[in-house]
Structure 1
Amino acid sequence: MADPVSHPWLTIVGLGEDGADGLPPASLKALENAKIIMGAKRHLGLLPDVDAELVEWPVPFADGISVLQGFKGQETVVLASGDPFWHGAGGALLDIFDQKEVKVLPGVSSLSLAAARLGWPLEKTPCLGLHAAPFERLRPLLAEGRRVFCTVRDGDAVKALGAWLDEAGFGSSLVHILEALGGPRERVRVVRTSHIPDDIQHPVLVGLDVRGDGQTLPFASGRPDAFFGNDGQITKSPIRAMTLSALAPTFGEHLWDIGGGSGSIGIEWCLADASLSATIFEIDRERSKRIETNAHSLGVSVNVVTGPAPETLRDQRAPDVVFIGGGISAQMLDWIWTNVSEGKRLVANGVTLEAEALLAAWHREKGGKLLRIDLSEAAPLGSKRGWKANYPIVQWSVTL
């Protein structure tokens, strides 16, 4: 006799705002055969008459997982909005249940409907889920002429988004408000950020046509120092660009940024790609708070650990790349060489004569690449101009 859970007992059905109308035969059959149908109150209200037991998914979402697990082995349907794998329940559920237990029957996503209504090609339009994320995730995308689709929680969130855009200097953006797409309540309106109406219906998706003279975040590393609040302890833009090049981030890697200062290295690391992550270590509590503020304002999430290194390095998520930007010592290098896995990369910047001597000695013993970076800027010199030299930076890059 077959194991009752060796076949798909759980079906995720993508439901549009028109309910069962237009659902493919496989989705209709899943609803007809289900013993239990679980979904949000709004989704359950869109169902035709069915024989199954209806179970409302609780809030927050995580509370529903244990309820769903209790139905294991019974024919169960979970209702999702449109395509369950676009900011939907699909990914969350397949992180928990074996794929062999689950069958997914997607519907038309609200994203596809929004693209059809506005005529914006999806391959050219970034898509963000802001229904459970801060508006700052938009910050790297804010530039004149950029178009962005994003989900938001409700009508109040649309108004808050408009206010946030205005504060960021992009208050002249056009906000396309797309409500209840694909259903009888569908409505599409376009307004300026200052004229967002009060009668927005849920569910709602927003298409932003970004306009304004706010400061645009460049794509390349070495962003202007003004983007990072600091007390003078910051890796300046040209050095930061060269350091990020030496760190050479690739897909999915995790960085340790030791001696974070303003957090500019770890934050720019995360800005390079959404798959990247960073733990930033900083001994000063006020700087740690500032790092968190800088990261939030630029739309990235970093883990900030306050305290001295190498003590605080213990029991942290293992790195793929280590950067030392402050407080370098032989003790720290010894700890990293002993405790970080072979094959991982290390980049260390030093500015003092003592740090230079230390890095030169380790380079002689361990190899790698030793680079001295001398930068000068034009500055007033009496009635004329001259070159004002910055402190030289010695940079050691090596594979452990």
Structure 2
Amino acid sequence: MAQWLTIIGIGEDGYGGLGQNAREALGRAETVFGGKRHLELLPSDIMAERIAWPMPFSDAYPMLRALRGQHVVVLASGDPMHFGMGATLTRFIEHDEMRILSAPSSFSLAAAAMGWPIQDLQLLSVHGRPVESLFKAFVPGARLLVLSNDGDTPAQVARMLSQSGFPSAHLTVLEHMGGGAEQRIEGVSGTWNHPRCADLNVLAVDCGVPTSSARAYSVLAGLPDEAFENDGQLTKRDIRAVTLAHLGPLPGELLWDVGAGCGSISIEWMRAHAACRALAIEANENRQGLILRNSRALGVPDLQIVCGGAPAALAGLAVPDAIFIGGGVTDEGVMQTCWQSLKPGGRLVANAVTIQSEVALVGWREVFGGDLTKLTVSHAQPLGSFDAWRAALPVTIYSVRKPD
């Protein structure tokens, strides 16, 4: 089908800042979709019907598809393909039916205003997303550009930085960039006392040097055990790092964390890449609360918690690319259901501490193949006036790839 939908990026300079191609598309349009603010930027001689985005926003998709074949324009802020409307619509409309006319993104304008090379920055958005996702980005010396959700976001981020041990982080709020109301507000997280900012803003953060007690962690597997609130049901750091190496998270993949405990495996899986997804399956209500708090504190608030025990709780879940079983390998039906649910080519990793669970993994390997690894970790601990090695319980790790 010919291109019938044109997505136009528009800035604070409004219609006057649009190029000739965008103006011609608007002149031909029969229908124009956009936010109320965007639609008000158009001159009166644009004769197309103007439709503000509905609530809930998902109602817009069938409305757009119903107009297929007409000349339709969608107005979006800045670059529609960077955290924007274009990126969303490509999931519902074929690319060859669309024409995308981009404007400078808010991030590009902010980087220019700050004099920061954009390739050295983390570009983040909390617009319609949990602000706790920023916790993962707070590391010494990091520079962040954050598309705010609203005018309260800068104060929220300042509090989060202070709580994380970054009270001297420098914040710059860039409001209405490129328009007549453009304004800049600056301050330090520990003493931030500015009133509510304009809803349309990008927040520039220079994390700087934290305090010695800052919660700043690598995205590599093996966070300190104390990073997780737990009740003792925790895959310990050294075992966790090796377990995640066997799981091998890749961008966009989905993990089932079966018997998730405090969520350490699924949280570290999601921290490996922003596109990694996970389902934490846990029957214990108290541990479900631990998973929720840990996921927020460690920057992956989108971790989904499935309340219930395996195998019953696994029915109907999205098909996983990888499965970790931290407990329950001897429970009837758990291993079988996980194996049947796993994608062809997917990875299954299971840990065992007891003799009975190890025997179950040995038996599974005899049938399906795979690798067995036994880890024994010792830590130096005081013994009188000296130190001695104290060995933790050995852990057997079974890993196997399902045939394609």
TM-score of the superposed pair, with normalisation by structure 2: 0.92
Mapped pair 1:280 → 2:272: no
Counterpart position of 1:346: 348
Residue of structure 2 equivalent to 1:377: 379
Deviation of residue 264 (structure 1)?
A: 0.4
The CA deviation string for residues 219-256 of structure 1, in whole angstroms up to 9 with x for no partner, is: 32110111211100000001100111111122322212
C-alpha deviation, 1:128, in angstroms: 0.9
Classify 1:325/1:209 alpha carbon distance in 2 versus 1 (closer, same or farther; 3 Å).
Answer: same
What are the equivalent positions in structure 2 for 1:246-285 lying under 5 Å apart? 246-285=246-285
- Name the SS of the counterpart of 1:112 in structure 2: helix
Counterpart of 2:165 in structure 1 is: 169
Match for 1:43: what amino acid? H
Does the 8 Å CA contact 1:162/1:196 hold for their aligned counterparts? no
Cα 1:70/1:339, change in 2 over 3 Å: closer
Q: Are 2:258 and 2:326, in contact at CA under 8 Å, matched by a contact in 1?
A: yes
CA contact 1:135–1:164 (8 Å) conserved in 2: no
Alignment of 1:1-400 (within 5 A): 6-49=1-44, 50-193=46-189, 194-198=191-195, 200-211=197-208, 212-213=210-211, 214-300=214-300, 301-329=302-330, 331=332, 332-400=334-402
Q: CA distance change for structure 1 residues 54 and 358 in 2, over 3 Å: closer, same or farther?
A: closer
d(CA) in 2 for partners of 1:339, 1:7:
40
Q: Once the 2 structures are TM-superposed, how far is the Cα of residue 205 of structure 1 from its aligned partner?
A: 0.6
CA distance, structure 1, for counterparts of residue 160 and residue 340 of structure 2: 47
Q: Which runs of 5+ in 2 are unaligned?
A: none
What is the deviation of 1:340? 3.5
**How many Å separate the matches in 2 of 1:185 and 1:339?**
54
**Bigger Cα displacement from structure 2, 53-62 vs 101-110:** 53-62
| Structure 2 contact 10–17 (Cα < 8 Å) conserved | no
CA distances 1:252-297 after superposition (whole Å, capped 9, x unpaired): 2221211111110111111111222112222212112211221122
TM-score, with length taken from structure 1 = 0.93
Q: Quote the offset at 1:339 in angstroms.
A: 4.6
Structure 1 stretches of at least 4 aligned residues deviating more than 6 Å after TM superposition = none
How far the C-alpha of 1:167 sits from its partner, in A, is 2.2
Question: How far apart, in 2, do the equivalents of 1:175 and 1:132 lie?
Answer: 21
Paired with 1:195 and 1:267, the residues of 2 have a C-alpha distance of 30
The Cα of 1:196 is off from its aligned counterpart by: 4.5
Determine helix, strand or coil for the equivalent of 1:395.
strand
> Residues 178 and 188 of structure 1 are in contact (CA less than 8 Å); yes or no, is this contact kept in structure 2?
yes
Q: Which moved more, 1:332-341 or 1:178-187?
A: 332-341
Structure 1 position 338, deviation (Å): 4.3
Task: Render the CA deviation track for 1:152-187: whole Å, top value 9, x for unaligned.
Answer: 122222222222222222232111111111112112
Percent identity between matched residues is 39
Question: Does the 8 Å CA contact 2:353/2:396 hold for their aligned counterparts?
Answer: yes
Amino acid across the alignment from 1:33: R
1:330 deviates by 6.6
